[in-house]
Amino acid sequence: MIAACRLTGRLRATHYRRLRPALERKPRKPQAQPSVLTAEERLAVMELMNCGEYAELPPAQIWARELDAGRYYCSVSTMYRILRAKGQAGERRRHATHPAKAVPELVATAPSKVFTWDIAKAAGPAKVIWYHAYVIIDIFSGYIVGQAVE
C-alpha cells in the first residue's frame, strides 16, 4: 500500500481516512442550564436592585447585604447580566444635573468701548528668569492699546 500511495502521490493517511468516512452527526439541541433563573426570579432580582434602599448601590454590595440577611437570589455576575439586559449597567448613583451655562460674549459697537487683556510668559537668559508680556487689546478694532514687559 505504501508503494501504491507513493506512485499515485496520495498520502497514506488520506487513503485510510477515505476508506472509513466519518459518521454523519446530528445537530445537538441547545441544553438549558439547570441553574438558569425563571422570568419571575429575574423580575424579583430586578425589583430588589431598583428598590429605594438599593437603587444607588452596585450589585456586589446588594448581593453582600442580602447574603448577610440570609437571602440568596443569584450570583453577582447574574445581577450584572440582568442589569445589562435592562440597560441599567452604568452608574447607579444619582448625579447632580446643572443647567447649561451661556458663554459670555463681549460685543463692541465702537472703538475704545470694550477692552480685553492677555499675558504671555517668555523664558529669560537664565533658568530662573522669566519675562511677562502684558497687552491690552481693543475688541472692536483688534489693535493693541497698551503693553508692558516686566
Structural domain contains residue 106? no
Structural domain contains residue 131? yes
* pLDDT tens track for 11-27: 888 888 888 888 888 89
Residue 31 pLDDT > 80, yes or no? yes
* pLDDT tens track for 65-81: 999 999 999 999 999 99
The Cα 150–Cα 145 span in angstroms is: 17
Structural domain contains residue 23? no
* pLDDT tens track for 68-116: 999 999 999 999 999 999 888 877 777 778 888 988 888 889 998 999 9
Structural domain contains residue 12? no
Residue 7 pLDDT > 90, yes or no? no
Structural domain contains residue 34? no
Structural domain contains residue 121? yes
pLDDT of residue 89: 80
pLDDT of residue 123: 92
Structural domain contains residue 48? yes
**With pLDDT > 70 as the criterion, what percentage of the chain qualifies?**
99
Structural domain harbouring 49 = 39-85
Q: Is 76 exposed, middle or buried (0-12, 13-18, 19+ CB in 10 A)?
A: middle
The Cα 13–Cα 131 span in angstroms is: 84
Structural domain contains residue 59? yes
**Nearest Cα to Cα of residue 89 among 114, 121, 45, 58:** 58
Total domains present in the chain: 2
